[in-house]
Structure 1
Amino acid sequence: MALTSSLSIAASAELSTALDLTTGRAPLQVRRSVSLASGTGVGQADKVFSDRRTLAASASEDLDLAGVLLDAFGATITFARVKGIIVSAAAGNTNSVVIGAASSNPWATLLNATGTLTLRPGDAFSAHAGQANATAWAVAAGTGDLLKVANSGAGTPVTYDVVIIGASA
């Protein structure tokens, strides 16, 4: 099965102010992107996981990046390296979605073992390794492969979307 993928992060802004005879402008355009061919080497990926998930009030789950997740065709995915990740919290959530700090075997190469990222309703997080980054974010099956996702509070469920692109070797 072949996989071609691309990830990008972009921002645009224009700061302006009225001057005596003109308007001063400072436009900004920033875009970082990576295109990945099919494979397991530098600039390549061969696995993708995507899903819309819901967690009950105060619940959490560990996404096992090595051998439990299924791709769109029902095949088991084992990531050796993550090349890109996107997580977005639904705008209709009341509580936040908290990513990271699994109690055992945490996938620690992106957020460290105890680091977390809190996504309030409507927030999104995206990261991708550079085109020439040979290792990206390593996954260690059985010892460093759990990405914890938690509902920050009681009372209501949260929904989030997740996309993980990576390589099996």
Structure 2
Amino acid sequence: MALTADILLRLTASQTGGNDFGGPNFNPKMEKALALTDGTTANKADIAFFDERTVATGADDDIDLAGVLSDAFGSTITMAEVVAIFIINAPKAGTPANTTDLTIGGSSAPFLGFLSGTTPTVGPIKPGGFFVIGAGDAAGIGTVTATTADILRVTNSSGAAATYQIGIIARSA
């Protein structure tokens, strides 16, 4: 099964008033695209994992990146390097809306990758908010090491269960 993936992040704005770029309109745009083809080297990936998951109030959802997850076709996937992670703190249908924050990281065998320290975390990701990180270079955003550095933890704050969306693009080697 061959994989191609396009990751596009865009931030645009429109503001009126005087500014250093002339006036009266200011229309900045930041954009970064990452196109990946099938493979396990720089600017390539061969694993796609997408899911909608629910985590109970005040609980952890420990996602084992090495040999536990299944892809869309039911095959077990084992990630060696993660290229991109995209988490949205909202159900795919949009309703009911989440009311609690999510935090990424902090497990006992954490996938560190883009994180540093002993048990680092990123968050809170507010209800309706999102987190995205990606790098297509040879190392991606981090290496997965089975049993010692392979858990991507998503923690829900207290108050209610939260349904969230997650997409991970990775390499098998």
Q: Same fold (TM over 0.5)?
A: yes
- Output aligned runs, 1:1-169, within 5 Å: 1-17=1-17, 23-90=23-90, 92-102=97-107, 104-112=108-116, 113-130=119-136, 133-136=137-140, 137-154=142-159, 156-169=160-173
- The offset of 1:23, in angstroms, is 5.0
| Separation of aligned partners in 2, 1:28 and 1:50 | 32
Q: Give the stretch that moved more between structures: 158-167 or 113-122.
A: 113-122
Bigger share in strand: 1
Which runs of structure 1 show a deviation greater than 4 angstroms over 4 or more consecutive aligned residues?
Answer: none
- The offset of 1:51, in angstroms, is 0.4
State the one-letter code of the partner of 1:140. Answer: T
TM-score calculated relative to the size of structure 1: 0.90
- The offset of 1:27, in angstroms, is 1.6
| Separation of aligned partners in 2, 1:109 and 1:10 | 23
State the one-letter code of the partner of 2:103. Answer: V
8 A contact 2:48–2:71 mirrored in 1? yes
Alignment root-mean-square deviation, CA: 1.7
8 A contact 2:69–2:76 mirrored in 1? yes
- The offset of 1:6, in angstroms, is 1.0
- The offset of 1:55, in angstroms, is 1.1
| Separation of aligned partners in 1, 2:149 and 2:18 | 54
- The offset of 1:166, in angstroms, is 0.7
Gaps of 5+ in 2: none
Matched residue of 2:28: which SS?
strand
1:120-149 residue CA offsets vs partner (Å, 9 max, x unmatched): 11001111104xx11112111111110111
| Separation of aligned partners in 1, 2:35 and 2:144 | 21
Percent pairwise identity = 37
| Separation of aligned partners in 1, 2:109 and 2:23 | 55
Change (3 A) 1:55 1:88: same
Gaps of 5+ in 1: none
- The offset of 1:111, in angstroms, is 2.2
| Separation of aligned partners in 1, 2:147 and 2:55 | 24
- The offset of 1:67, in angstroms, is 0.7
TM-score calculated relative to the size of structure 2: 0.88
